[in-house]
A and B are shown apart, each in its own frame.
Chain A
Amino acid sequence: GESVGLHLPTLSVQEGDNSIINCAYSNSASDYFIWYKQESGKGPQFIIDIRSNMDKRQGQRVTVLLNKTVKHLSLQIAATQPGDSAVYFCAETANQGGKLIFGQGTELSVKP
């Protein structure tokens, strides 16, 4: 679950395993969602997006699932690699664009 304050939620996985990162979004009117990856010392990098009229979207090694009933978003990373180690943020927006609201982030650590 989410924690408050200065400590990010963390997920530690073994190289080659699948990772699932969860996000609870706040606005039931949000209709567009994005996952970003942020490596240490860098800006956030776009991974994958999904609109609210979809439940699932797949990219290369990543899948995003959207459950609007419980306002939950997840990012699945297949065959996790050391290069996947980073902080992952979900972001939501309403009205198909405009201001993005970012979640707190989850730190993914991949053990070789």
Chain B
Amino acid sequence: EVQLLESGGGLVQPGGSLRLSCAASGFTFSNYAMNWVRQAPGKGLEWVSGISGSDGSTSYADSVKGRFTISRDNSKNTLSLQMNSLRAEDTAVYYCAKDWSGFFLNWFDTWGQGTLVTVSS
């Protein structure tokens, strides 16, 4: 069974940092692009960042570019998101989502249950 399990969320002060992780199982992790998608309280979904499965190329939403860094460890089947210079507007549930293929611009066929990040003083 394909599974994604996020961890690392919590309460952080504005300007602080946090690192999210997503443990993947049930599929050949290195073959697929992976993404982070977030949902602020009471709001819709927002794609945050993605990383390809083939060459590790990355892409970011303008709202997080320069502050967040996505990475993957194919030997450990793990996806990560390093979040720096956090702002109140980054408060959201962050979901790990698997792309249908190794490249971007596909649908997400599997999602994790999410981890909550709260940015507040």
- Co-complex (A, B): no
Which chain B residues have a beta carbon within 8 Å of chain A's beta carbons? none
Which chain A residues have a beta carbon within 8 Å of chain B's beta carbons? none
